[in-house]
Amino acid sequence: MKPHLLKVPHKPESSFSIYQNKDKNFYNQWHFHPEIELIYIHKGRGTRFIGNDVHRFEPDELCLFGANLAHMWRCDPEYFVDESKLKAEVTVIYFQHDFLGDKFFNTPELKNIETLLEKAKQGIKITGSTKAQVKTLINKLTEASGLERIMTLLNILEKIATSKEREYINTIYQPEKIEWQEADRLNKVFQYISDNFQKKITLEEIASVANLSAKAFCRYFKSKTRKTLQDFLLEVKIAHACNLILEKDMTIYEVCYDSGFNNLSNFNRYFKKLMNKTPLEFKKEHNMLREVG
């Protein structure tokens, strides 16, 4: 398996890069890069791993990631079925912190953007009217050239920096620098969890994936994710359960067992702990939203 320090290709005639992708999935590996990333999801549903956060993602999601914030997007299983016509579609903007020079964002007029780029190391989800405005500017940016291109990106960053319509994805900062060997090891661990969470995963089993002893793995995993393995597994299972409730015609009992729980009481308890409502309340709430929509 290749190391997952993602090397973003840059055109020599451009100071930053814009990519649009349509496929069954986005870059489906645990990865990081020195570039700051602004990503808009046009289409696609699944589970996102951002730093130490595990959560669902849906279409019309807009996020800003700081340099070296490790992340991964994993579309739902139905995207990978051979006969599936489902496609994920995304627009991604990559730029270095110093793409306009070392001191550019240190000027008093741009201090708010400098603060934003520092806070983006936690991962930021942009919402509300700010998201709508930024989406329009992203469309403009894909067609812009010359000075207009740079001014449009600065306008996007200014709107996000001055908005209160944003949520921090992680409550802690990620490390400034991640060694590629560690990203490769974590990718193997996350991939194994993603493929096997519906069955019981023993500590010894997952430790062997990382080529560590059980005791060493516990310390390692907690140091890299700021979570215990059990907490991380629960988040993956609950994210899967949310998808089943939203997308499948299944009973709560069926969702419980398909998500890797063998006890309905425990499933209800953990679901409420993470989602602040029971599975049934979650299902009723979203059924009401569909009816209103």
What pLDDT is recorded for position 113?
95
Instruction: Give yes or no: residues 126 and 216 share one domain.
Output: no
What pLDDT is recorded for position 292?
47
**Residue where one domain finishes, among candidates 149, 168, 187:** 168
β-bridge partners, 40? 62, 91
The answer as to whether 288 is a domain residue is yes
The answer as to whether 57 is a domain residue is yes
CB 82 within 8 A of CB 190: no
Instruction: Give yes or no: residues 230 and 118 share one domain.
Output: no
The answer as to whether 264 is a domain residue is yes
The answer as to whether 252 is a domain residue is yes
* Domain of residue 217, CATH code: 1.10.10.60
The answer as to whether 268 is a domain residue is yes
Split into its structural domains, the chain has a count of: 2
Instruction: Give yes or no: residues 130 and 42 share one domain.
Output: yes
What pLDDT is recorded for position 172?
62
Instruction: Give yes or no: residues 50 and 158 share one domain.
Output: yes
Cα separation, 283 vs 269, in Å, equals: 15
* Domain of residue 136, CATH code: 2.60.120.10
Instruction: Give yes or no: residues 157 and 282 share one domain.
Output: no
Q: Could you say which residues of the chain have pLDDT below 50?
A: 1-4, 175-176, 289, 292-293
Displacement of CA 155 from its chain's centroid (Å) = 24
What pLDDT is recorded for position 89?
93
The answer as to whether 181 is a domain residue is no
Task: Tell me which residue range forms the domain holding 249.
Answer: 197-292
What pLDDT is recorded for position 46?
84
Q: For 133-155, how does the pLDDT look when each residue is reduced to its tens digit (9 = 90+)?
A: 999 999 999 999 999 999 999 99
Q: For 189-204, how does the pLDDT look when each residue is reduced to its tens digit (9 = 90+)?
A: 888 888 899 999 999 9
Instruction: Give yes or no: residues 206 and 278 share one domain.
Output: yes
The answer as to whether 190 is a domain residue is no
What pLDDT is recorded for position 55?
83
Q: Terminal CA-to-CA distance of the chain, rounded, Å? A: 45
Instruction: Give yes or no: residues 157 and 202 share one domain.
Output: no
The answer as to whether 180 is a domain residue is no
Instruction: Give yes or no: residues 68 and 117 share one domain.
Output: yes
Instruction: Give yes or no: residues 36 and 145 share one domain.
Output: yes
Question: What element of type H or E holds 152?
Answer: helix 146-161
Scored b (16 or more CB within 10 A) or e, 68-106 reads: bbbbbbbbbeebeeeeeeeebebbbbbbbbebbeeeebe
